[in-house]
């Protein structure tokens, strides 16, 4: 099976969630390269300086220092090509406000409730 994507960026402050999600992405051959950032601030820097050029981003909402929505505001200001990047919010939040905000955001492709699974990956747009 060939990878669906070239580069996947996983942005989540939770080490255990990152470990589990990364293993799932690797075992499913979802992407050739999987880059994990526990800091959304660092992820924005990597995107801005071009050291990471993902096809897909999995983004948590609730993170200290910078939330997923604040990440999206910073992402919007970056002078990079965003046209081919899919962003999936990957969150344990069931807050209707979060779900509504994600559906209103032009960069969000899909809202996914944690934990990620093979079945969910297979159904992604």
- Its domain, for residue 108, covers 5-123
The SS3 assignment for 109 reads: strand
CATH number at residue 10: 3.40.50.2300
pLDDT confidence bin for 3, thresholds 50/70/90: confident
> What is the mean predicted confidence (pLDDT) over 24-29?
95
Mean pLDDT to the nearest integer, 15-32: 95
Task: Give the span between the Cα atoms of 25 and 29, in whole angstroms.
Answer: 6
- Reference 11, options 123, 97, 107; nearest CA is 107
| Structural domain count, the chain | 1
């Amino acid at each position: 099976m060939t990878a669906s994507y070239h580069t996947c960026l996983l942005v989540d402050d939770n080490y255990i969630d990152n470990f589990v999600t990364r293993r799932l992405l690797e075992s499913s051959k979802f992407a050739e390269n999987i880059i994990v950032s526990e800091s959304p601030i660092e992820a924005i820097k990597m995107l801005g300086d071009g050291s990471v050029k993902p096809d897909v981003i999995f983004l948590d909402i609730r993170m200290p220092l910078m939330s997923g929505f604040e990440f999206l505001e910073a992402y919007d200001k970056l002078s990079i090509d965003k046209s081919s990047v899919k962003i999936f919010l990957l969150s344990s939040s069931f807050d209707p406000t979060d779900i509504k905000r994600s559906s209103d955001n032009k960069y969000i492709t899909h809202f996914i409730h944690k934990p990620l699974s093979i079945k969910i990956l297979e159904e992604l747009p």
